[in-house]
Chains A and B, each alone.
Chain A
């Protein structure tokens, strides 16, 4: 695969890019505003958003590109991580809310709640919140995956159930009495670990943290997929029954990777929320999860690098187009889905590495190169 071709040094180089980029942009944003090299604050926020999405894309690529699980519900794990972070940030507001209640967040005061629901306990400690950011999405993915993989739900069936999962969560989080702020979600955050979220230095710090997490998880995913473990994953993707007959516990592999990937998505969400400043139930929308899949497809499925590239490029295009021609954005996005699946099955990364060889191959090999992985799903 592509990452394999990159080799160890190549991968380290790729991993260095997000970190270096975020450090550079973060530091430049701290320069005085009249400096020629100053980077405006909105660029920092935008880049932070793209990179948080890139982490989500990376997690989708890990399960889709390497195990063949097309999850249409990864946005749910992303949003759950985001909510866990949002709950911590809500508790940090303290008496600075509109109603000035020392314990209850504003929306609870507004709804006449008398005391904090039990599941909000502990979220005033960052360590606890950090634990929940990985545990909640991880636990949900574990339970869901255990049930699904055990009964060998696969292919489009699995995709549809994951979509139903995020849909159900969206409906649930829209309810006021869930205790997560209902329609409006969680917002009006003040500070994170004592640092003011509006301050330029905090924003730069968050951006660099996002870059660091992305680099770190890229290396972890690369290691996972390059190892013996990764070979088994690819075997499961390409011929699940055969792998099972060879004696591998396919369900366990799938479950482990699915859970790990959900945790990664949760961390992505947790990095996303303080930079954007709000988390609400629309993050659970099934369309968001499918969009994350298309980032991976655009960049190049099963390449890890491609997923990150795809997330940044598609989201950049979205920012530009929704700003200038909001009417045509859905045409472009929809067209992208069709175009990429029909004409660019290996995505942008595939274009760079394999276009010429792919063209010159006879039809039989071509088919192996493009669609081989997916025949197993039929």
Chain B
């Protein structure tokens, strides 16, 4: 019984206090709401005041305002229209029957920005760290000195290190904006922003450097320079990565060409079409898998790889047996005949599959990207780099460690001598051509992951592949590797400076000049056979 009484007494003591608290806040909210009836400046103030109450209705009202669903009645009370057009009283959330005609609360850009900032502040204290991070980020991007106290409070309560860092950056952004901040704090803020080091921080520091003078300006300028260095470094690294990726694609496309040209002295203008055949093989394999066994989709590339090798390789052997065999000793004629063949193959594919692009999907393990420092590495390009290196290593092994490789090297160096030693050079030719074409087919599988699969796929790479072969020299796979990677990187490094097209032209001109110094490429074969 005593407990009951004391409990009641306690309740009586607490209730007025609770009610008082609520009442005070309720007043604030009512005041804020009243502000929405005024002009844009008053609305902006009201938004800030509403956000400062931290009440649960605030975000609802602000959201409605941002969406243009907030209505105001003749008695200055607010209503929210939901998606279906039903009205609720903003303050209580109860279904409303407004006393007179409602007007929408007008919004301009300043108001919209204020809403955004206020929303950011409201979520600063959300229990979800993700939301807090978003809020801190919003605040960083549109810093508002008015919310510094709320930010400081959030900062004091924050436990998550990542959110805390973001909050500190947002605080630094605000501190830099306010003229009254003590110099020491400003310099500390500059340092915080410099540590962030991205484009957004650069913009903030830029305005700070312009507006202030003396020590702070100097600190901001130094920070700007360090950020610029950092950004330039990362964009350089990113270019190199793109270059590596392009280089590995070129390597895949050119290595088969280098083998056939090295061994047989024959330029296969239809080489690009072998790449295209490989890409279309991938398309067909994926199409079959989609219809027959969708579960195997992630393995489609692994299935397509050997098939593409076989399809393109068989086509290569057929070309060698059917056309090139009759044209030995006449490399220019071979060039023309294989060009004709490339036209026929393109048109054939166009007739069968249609002229438009065919879609080849990325398996799950090839989509997505990973961030490393300031880099974005996409998985498909990463895999292609790895894959091209694997193909390269396999070919080196084949050339160095197998009987076929030995024979191929012998024929490359001196065809007549090799024939005299009992090597069946015509068989070696066929197999070489098949191998070169098969590798091109495998390149097509890789290319299908980053390019549109169309009948013109091969053409877009063929001239670059020739350049790689000319640059790297024939008969030496390392030359092809160096040629492909350096051409790829040179292209991508020149691109930001000169633009894509001019960069490409510059590379071509450099190549023509390079040939002046080394007419037989970077790594020419030494020996008398080449001189004839």
* Complex interface: chain A residues within 8 A of B511 (CB): 161, 164
Among A160, A175, A336, A371, contact of B267 (Cβ-Cβ < 8 Å): A160
Give complex CA distance A153, B467 in Å.
Answer: 14
CB-CB under 8 A for A156 and B329, given A334-B341, A335-B344, A342-B323: no
- Asked if B333 is an interface residue, CB under 8 A from chain A, the answer is yes
* Complex interface: chain B residues within 8 A of A378 (CB): 265, 329-331, 532
A159 with B335: CB separation less than 8 A: yes
B519 with A337: CB separation less than 8 A: no
CB-CB under 8 A for A172 and B501, given A286-B463, A331-B344, A338-B341: yes
Q: How many A-B residue pairs have CB under 8 A?
A: 138
- Asked if B466 is an interface residue, CB under 8 A from chain A, the answer is yes
- Asked if B130 is an interface residue, CB under 8 A from chain A, the answer is no
Give complex CA distance A148, B519 in Å.
Answer: 9
Of residues 140 through 168 on chain A, the ones whose CB sits less than 8 Å from some CB of chain B are 144, 147-148, 150-153, 155-157, 159-161, 163-165, 167-168
Q: How far is the CB of A67 from chain B (nearest CB, A)?
A: 12
Among listed A48-56, A219-227, A252-260, A289-297, interface-contacting one: A289-297
B501 with A290: CB separation less than 8 A: no
* Complex interface: chain A residues within 8 A of B329 (CB): 371, 374-375, 378
Closest to B337 in A: A341
B333 with A374: CB separation less than 8 A: yes
Among B335, B342, B505, B515, contact of A161 (Cβ-Cβ < 8 Å): B515
- Asked if A115 is an interface residue, CB under 8 A from chain B, the answer is no
A338 with B323: CB separation less than 8 A: yes
CB-CB under 8 A for A156 and B340, given A171-B505, A175-B501: no
- Asked if B346 is an interface residue, CB under 8 A from chain A, the answer is yes
Among B333, B339, B345, B512, contact of A147 (Cβ-Cβ < 8 Å): B512
- Asked if B347 is an interface residue, CB under 8 A from chain A, the answer is yes
A337 with B337: CB separation less than 8 A: yes
* Complex interface: chain A residues within 8 A of B265 (CB): 156, 378
Closest to A333 in B: B343
Count, chain B residues at interface, CB 8 A: 44
Q: How far is the CB of A206 from chain B (nearest CB, A)?
A: 31
CB-CB under 8 A for A164 and B467, given A175-B501, A338-B337, A342-B323: yes
Q: How far is the CB of A241 from chain B (nearest CB, A)?
A: 8
Q: How far is the CB of B365 from chain A (nearest CB, A)?
A: 36
Q: How far is the CB of B346 from chain A (nearest CB, A)?
A: 7
* Complex interface: chain A residues within 8 A of B505 (CB): 168, 171-172
B515 with A341: CB separation less than 8 A: no
- Asked if B351 is an interface residue, CB under 8 A from chain A, the answer is yes
Q: How far is the CB of A57 from chain B (nearest CB, A)?
A: 14
- Asked if B332 is an interface residue, CB under 8 A from chain A, the answer is yes
Among B327, B330, B342, contact of A334 (Cβ-Cβ < 8 Å): B342
Of residues 302 through 360 on chain B, the ones whose CB sits less than 8 Å from some CB of chain A are 323, 326-327, 329-337, 339-348, 351
CB-CB under 8 A for A327 and B351, given A70-B335, A334-B340, A337-B336: yes
B508 with A337: CB separation less than 8 A: no
Closest to B499 in A: A175
Of residues 490 through 518 on chain B, the ones whose CB sits less than 8 Å from some CB of chain A are 501-502, 504-505, 508-509, 511-513, 515-517
* Complex interface: chain A residues within 8 A of B341 (CB): 334, 337-338
- Asked if A174 is an interface residue, CB under 8 A from chain B, the answer is yes
- Asked if B470 is an interface residue, CB under 8 A from chain A, the answer is yes
Of residues 446 through 474 on chain B, the ones whose CB sits less than 8 Å from some CB of chain A are 463, 466-467, 470
Count, chain A residues at interface, CB 8 A: 48
A338 with B532: CB separation less than 8 A: no
* Complex interface: chain B residues within 8 A of A37 (CB): none
Give complex CA distance A374, B333 in Å.
Answer: 9
Q: How far is the CB of A72 from chain B (nearest CB, A)?
A: 8
Q: How far is the CB of A134 from chain B (nearest CB, A)?
A: 23
* Complex interface: chain A residues within 8 A of B470 (CB): 157, 160-161
Among A152, A293, A297, A337, contact of B343 (Cβ-Cβ < 8 Å): A337
Give complex CA distance A171, B499 in Å.
Answer: 12
B512 with A161: CB separation less than 8 A: yes
Q: How far is the CB of A183 from chain B (nearest CB, A)?
A: 12
A151 with B519: CB separation less than 8 A: yes
B335 with A156: CB separation less than 8 A: yes
CB-CB under 8 A for A331 and B347, given A152-B519, A337-B339: yes
Give complex CA distance A95, B348 in Å.
Answer: 49
Give complex CA distance A151, B509 in Å.
Answer: 15
B466 with A153: CB separation less than 8 A: no
Closest to B331 in A: A156
B516 with A336: CB separation less than 8 A: no
* Complex interface: chain A residues within 8 A of B330 (CB): 341, 371, 374-375, 377-378
- Asked if A205 is an interface residue, CB under 8 A from chain B, the answer is no
Q: How far is the CB of A290 from chain B (nearest CB, A)?
A: 5
- Asked if A365 is an interface residue, CB under 8 A from chain B, the answer is no
Give complex CA distance A371, B327 in Å.
Answer: 9
* Complex interface: chain A residues within 8 A of B515 (CB): 147-148, 151, 153, 157, 161
A171 with B501: CB separation less than 8 A: yes
Give complex CA distance A375, B265 in Å.
Answer: 12
Of residues 86 through 109 on chain B, the ones whose CB sits less than 8 Å from some CB of chain A are none
Of residues 424 through 460 on chain B, the ones whose CB sits less than 8 Å from some CB of chain A are none
Of residues 332 through 367 on chain A, the ones whose CB sits less than 8 Å from some CB of chain B are 333-338, 340-342, 345
Query: Can you list, as one digit per residue, whether each of A313-331 has a CB less than 8 Å from chain B (1) or not (0)?
Result: 0000000000000011011
A153 with B331: CB separation less than 8 A: no
Closest to B345 in A: A334
Among A148, A161, A335, contact of B340 (Cβ-Cβ < 8 Å): A335
CB-CB under 8 A for A345 and B333, given A172-B505, A336-B340: yes
Give complex CA distance A163, B466 in Å.
Answer: 10
* Complex interface: chain B residues within 8 A of A345 (CB): 333
Q: How far is the CB of B436 from chain A (nearest CB, A)?
A: 15
Residue of A159, A328, A334, A377 with highest tally of chain B CB at under 10 A: A334
CB-CB under 8 A for A147 and B466, given A168-B504, A175-B501, A333-B340: no
Give complex CA distance A159, B334 in Å.
Answer: 12
Closest to A166 in B: B463
B343 with A334: CB separation less than 8 A: yes
Give complex CA distance A171, B333 in Å.
Answer: 27
Closest to B334 in A: A341
CB-CB under 8 A for A150 and B504, given A164-B466, A331-B344: no
CB-CB under 8 A for A330 and B344, given A155-B331, A175-B501: yes
Give complex CA distance A299, B323 in Å.
Answer: 21
B326 with A167: CB separation less than 8 A: no
* Complex interface: chain B residues within 8 A of A327 (CB): 347, 351
B508 with A330: CB separation less than 8 A: no
A151 with B343: CB separation less than 8 A: no
Closest to B520 in A: A157
* Complex interface: chain B residues within 8 A of A334 (CB): 339-345, 347
Instruction: List residues of chain A with CB under 8 Å of any chain B CB.
Output: 64, 70, 144, 147-148, 150-153, 155-157, 159-161, 163-165, 167-168, 171-172, 174-175, 286, 290, 293-294, 297, 327-328, 330-331, 333-338, 340-342, 345, 371, 374-375, 377-378
Listed A/B pairs (18) with beta-carbon separation below 8 Å: A147-B515, A151-B515, A151-B517, A156-B261, A156-B335, A157-B519, A164-B466, A164-B511, A172-B501, A330-B346, A334-B343, A334-B347, A337-B336, A341-B340, A342-B326, A371-B329, A374-B332, A375-B329
Q: Nearest 8 CB-CB pairs, A to B?
A: A337-B340, A334-B343, A334-B344, A330-B347, A334-B340, A341-B337, A374-B330, A168-B508
With contacts A168-B509, A293-B336, A337-B336 known, what are 18 further pairs, Cβ within 8 A? A147-B513, A147-B516, A150-B516, A151-B517, A153-B515, A156-B261, A161-B512, A161-B515, A164-B511, A165-B508, A165-B512, A331-B347, A331-B348, A334-B340, A334-B341, A334-B343, A340-B336, A375-B329
